[in-house]
């Protein structure tokens, strides 16, 4: 199977390549694709070095699947051209997520909605993936009415330039700035650009993508997204209001039985999810599970996941695995 990774030189692109190896994806040929300025660079894949090619060259080679992680502008310009050649495109940008004709997929939740005709498939935002993975089974059982979300998001979500800024500030070097303010020993209530309603794009992604994935436009959602000086994963404090009441023990059992979710909630041993322990893992970790005593049928959760893995690369590769198994090899 011929696989293209578009944006192969970026943080997520490199993580996708790493996961294709780790998960033994059936590749006969890997195409490493990037912008013209990166053409000719070499990327290590298994025991070989693969030379980076441009987008036009990649389209001409007609890959079976193209995993895009090169930004929305690139996706809007090139995804349909790959699809016209019969290539399945798994896109990690926001370009197609809210397109009514495109599926927004977290495989554990809604991969079965995909059909052979879905040639462009949207990968959700990192903070959305871990949220809906933890909430999907709870929504089916108790019917979510309202969500109040506060995120604590790793600098890795802003790419290598953000990691460089954090490292420069920590080491006292000349700072190459990604953010408007210092991030070292600081928190920025500013993830992505501000919109006209006063919310950031990141906050609105949590609102809109969650409703689409859960197929629940009636859920009321509000969010605040915060960038923190962490390398390893995104954390979320989530207050959930259900239509129906719940027994806490039953709810915890339901979470623990959810594919891709690990419950870490042993307060006597100070066990709860943290980005430092989630880093490098594919599961979404849920803890601090407790009733909100201020309102009926309400719950508080703490949700953590490695945003480069399940929040981006792993989810994309899982979609590619589903496509491979159901639409290409069948």
- Write the DSSP assignment of 82-125 as a string of letters: HHHTT-EEEE-SSTTTT-TTSEE--HHHHGGG--TT--EEEPPP
Our CA dihedral for 56, 58, 60, 62, rounded to 10 degrees, sits at: -150
Token pair listed for 79: 């995804």
Look up residue 296 and give its DSSP letter.
T
Q: Are residues 73 and 143 in the same domain?
A: no
Q: Tell me the C-alpha distance between 61 and 77, whole Å.
A: 18
Q: Are residues 188 and 242 in the same domain?
A: yes
Q: Are residues 106 and 194 in the same domain?
A: no
- Could you tell me if 211 and 100 are in contact, meaning their C-beta atoms sit under 8 angstroms apart? no
132: domain range?
127-307
Q: Are residues 144 and 281 in the same domain?
A: yes
E strand or H helix that includes residue 182: none
Q: Are residues 163 and 302 in the same domain?
A: yes
Quick one: how far is CA 301 from the chain centroid? 19
Residue of 32, 126, 191, 298 with catalytic role: 126
Instruction: Render each residue's pLDDT in the chain as its tens digit; 330 residues.
Output: 999 999 999 999 999 999 999 999 999 999 999 998 999 999 999 989 999 999 999 999 999 999 999 999 999 999 999 999 999 999 999 999 999 999 999 999 999 999 999 999 999 999 999 999 999 999 999 999 999 999 999 999 999 999 999 999 999 999 989 999 999 999 999 999 999 999 999 999 999 999 999 999 999 999 999 999 999 899 999 999 999 999 999 999 999 999 999 999 999 999 999 999 999 999 999 999 999 999 999 999 999 999 999 999 999 999 999 999 999 966
Q: Are residues 31 and 131 in the same domain?
A: no
Q: Tell me the C-alpha distance between 183 and 208, whole Å.
A: 28
Q: Tell me the C-alpha distance between 220 and 233, whole Å.
A: 26
Residue of 32, 191, 234, 298 with catalytic role: 234
Q: Are residues 89 and 167 in the same domain?
A: no
How many independent structural domains does the chain possess?
2
Q: Are residues 182 and 296 in the same domain?
A: yes
Which CATH number does the domain housing residue 320 bear?
Answer: 3.40.50.720
Q: Are residues 105 and 134 in the same domain?
A: no
Q: Are residues 93 and 173 in the same domain?
A: no
Instruction: State yes or no: is 126 an active-site residue.
Output: yes
Instruction: State yes or no: is 234 an active-site residue.
Output: yes
Q: Are residues 192 and 248 in the same domain?
A: yes
> Looking up tokens 């993936």, which residue turns up?
129
The per-residue b/e assignment along 306-315, b for 16 or more CB within 10 angstroms, e otherwise, is bbbbbbbbbb
Q: How far is CA 136 from CA 25, 130, 280, 309, in A?
A: 27, 10, 23, 19
Q: Are residues 84 and 148 in the same domain?
A: no
Q: Tell me the C-alpha distance between 260 and 110, whole Å.
A: 13
- Could you tell me if 281 and 235 are in contact, meaning their C-beta atoms sit under 8 angstroms apart? no
């Amino acid at each position: 199977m011929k696989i293209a990774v578009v944006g192969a030189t970026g943080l997520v692109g490199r993580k996708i390549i790493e996961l294709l190896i780790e998960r033994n994806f059936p590749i006969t040929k890997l195409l490493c694709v990037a912008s013209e300025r990166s053409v000719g660079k070499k990327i290590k894949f298994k025991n070989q070095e693969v030379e980076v090619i441009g987008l036009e060259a990649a389209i001409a080679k007609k890959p079976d699947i193209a995993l895009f992680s090169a930004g929305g502008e690139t996706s809007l310009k090139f995804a349909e051209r790959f699809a016209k050649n019969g290539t399945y495109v798994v896109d990690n940008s926001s370009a197609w997520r809210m397109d009514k004709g495109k599926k927004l997929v977290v495989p554990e939740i809604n991969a079965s909605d995909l059909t052979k005709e879905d040639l462009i498939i949207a990968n959700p935002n990192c903070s959305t993936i871990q949220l809906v993975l933890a909430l999907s089974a709870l929504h089916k059982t108790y019917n979510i009415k309202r969500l109040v979300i506060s995120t604590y998001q790793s600098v890795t979500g802003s790419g290598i330039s953000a990691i460089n800024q954090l490292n420069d500030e920590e080491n006292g070097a000349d700072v190459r700035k990604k953010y408007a303010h210092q991030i070292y020993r600081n928190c920025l209530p500013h993830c992505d650009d501000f919109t006209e309603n006063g919310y950031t794009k990141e906050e609105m992604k949590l609102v809109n993508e969650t409703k689409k994935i859960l197929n629940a436009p009636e859920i009321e959602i509000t969010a605040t997204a915060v960038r923190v000086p962490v390398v390893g994963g995104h954390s979320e404090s989530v207050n959930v209001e259900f239509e129906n009441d719940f027994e806490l023990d039953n709810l915890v059992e339901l979470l623990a039985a959810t594919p891709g979710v690990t419950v870490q909630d042993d307060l006597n041993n100070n066990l709860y999810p943290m980005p430092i322990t989630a880093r490098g893992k594919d599961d979404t970790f849920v803890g601090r599970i407790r009733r909100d005593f201020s309102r009926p049928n309400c719950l508080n959760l703490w949700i953590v996941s490695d945003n480069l893995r399940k929040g981006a690369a792993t989810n994309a590769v899982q979609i590619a695995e589903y496509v491979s198994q159901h639409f290409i090899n069948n």
